Amino acid sequence: MVPIKEFTQPKISIILNLNDVTEKYFEKCFDSICNQELDYVEIICVENENYKFDKFQKYLLEYEFIKIFDEYYLQNNFNLIINSDYILFLNAKDWLLFVGLKHAYNLAIENDMDILINSYNIFHEFSGEIEDPYQEEYAQLNNLNSFSGNDFKNILFNMPKYSFNLYKTDFIKKLNLKIPLDLTSQISFFINSSMMTSRIGYNNKPLLYNRLNEEIDNLNYYNLICNDFNFGICENNLEINMDSIIDTYFNILYFLEKEGIYNCNKYYLWNYIFRVFRRIYLQNFKNNIVIFKNIHDFCTNVFSKYHNDLVLNLKIENLTFYRSILKSNSIYELELLYENNRLVLQNEGKDKIINEKNNLISNLNNDLANSSKKLDVEIKKYLNILDDKDNRINILEEKYSYQVHENNLLIAKLSEVETSRSWRLTKIFRKIGMFKSIIVLVTVGFIIFLVMYILIIMLMLIIK
């Protein structure tokens, strides 16, 4: 990698999160950044009140491309601090593939992407196994070079919203989004930014290895929050921080309203939120009483403004949960009410199927009756056409009979003519034709005239 002092603007700024748990992996993560085939990369390390980078001051002194900022300072001065083409959020426990950044950066630059969604591999630390997650979820994105959040919003709220994406720096500055420094805030960051661009791409070549440490992430983890950022949660009585999750959802809600795109996305947003709440509730976490209070408070807060939207847009299972929450004063009431509603829904589902079948049969009978009536009308129409054609045929037959009679009379007259004396006398003229007949008649007349003239002259001479 080219040292930072040898170039004025980095291509990628990697915002690196570090804590007491992940600091032991820093060197591997740092080495993977330094050994990238892509040059001009800077590292922005984020400190907070719980964690300082005192142990890594030597890196700051040795490498020009490492910077350390307090999280609040970074968020408030992001436009001044970051000047790279793209930014990437990275956890210190993960590490980059050798050509990962170069391929992702070139793909983003060549296609002028505002956001590039990157695939990745999971590394199971204890077993050493490597897997490629979410192949099915992202298969439909493989053939898309560029698309918008609006194009795939039906899967946007369900897809794994992990944080390993490249974001164009100028695009983020234009949106004036707050830089996310934890996993849940990165959910809203991804959704909000995705809804505001038509330049999203997908990189199907893995960018990095996401380390899964069974001591940290639990052996039997599962993706709870709709696969958001591979949110690993153990099923056995773990606590979950609902405050950050609810803050994230309010962040998304207010952003969509501010940008005027709430109405066209409310169906997906509300079903996304309450699907998450249902999954959290059904896991029976150790702090489920607190979770119930958080969810109940959320539903109460949104009731006055969004109740109609919720009723009109939530799917039946989410709507049932929402109504059950509102009617319950404790987790125990919710358990009874939700189970009762589930059974009612189950029975209603059976009744609904029966009603749908009856309605289908009734509709088929009505369609059959209507088709029969239409067929009768069509038959009468064609019968009338046939009657009309029969009448026309009868008229034509009468005309034909009359014409035959007339033809017979003409044939009889012709026969009389052919047997007459005059017809026989003029036979020779008919054979030689009219023109020749005229010539012959003229010639014969002239000869007769000439003979008569000679005879008259001779008679006069005799008399004298």
Check pLDDT > 90 for residue 424.
Answer: no
Domains annotated on the chain, with CATH: 1-229 (3.90.550.10)
Residue matched to tokens 């045929």: 393
Q: In this predicted structure, what is the pLDDT of residue 305?
A: 92
Cβ–Cβ < 8 Å for 85, 99: no
What confidence tens digit (pLDDT) does each residue in 287-299 have? 688 888 999 999 9
Question: What percent of the chain shows pLDDT beyond 90?
Answer: 13
Who has greater pLDDT, 193 or 60?
193
Q: Which residue has the higher pLDDT, 305 or 455?
A: 305
Flag the least confident range among 106-115, 205-214, 337-346, 406-415.
337-346
**H/E run at residue 168:** strand 165-168
Mean pLDDT of 111-125: 87
Q: Is pLDDT of 86 > 90?
A: yes
* Stated length of the chain: 464
pLDDT over 60 at 315, yes or no: yes
Grade residue 2 by pLDDT with cuts at 50, 70 and 90. Answer: very low
CA pair distance 265, 366, nearest whole angstrom: 39
* pLDDT for 170: 92
The pLDDT value given to residue 168: 94
Give the C-alpha separation, 139 to 136, whole Å. Answer: 5
CB 65 within 8 A of CB 43: yes
Tens-digit pLDDT profile for residues 253-283: 998 898 898 998 899 899 988 988 888 887 7
Is pLDDT above 80 for 251? Answer: yes
**What's the pLDDT tens digit per position in 319-356?**
889 988 998 888 888 888 887 877 776 666 555 656 66
8 Å CB contact between 137 and 160:
yes
Please state whether the predicted TM-score (pTM) of the whole model is above 0.75. no
Average pLDDT of the chain? 78
Comparing 388 with 115, the larger pLDDT belongs to 115
pLDDT for position 166: 93
Q: Which two tokens stand for residue 455?
A: 């005879």
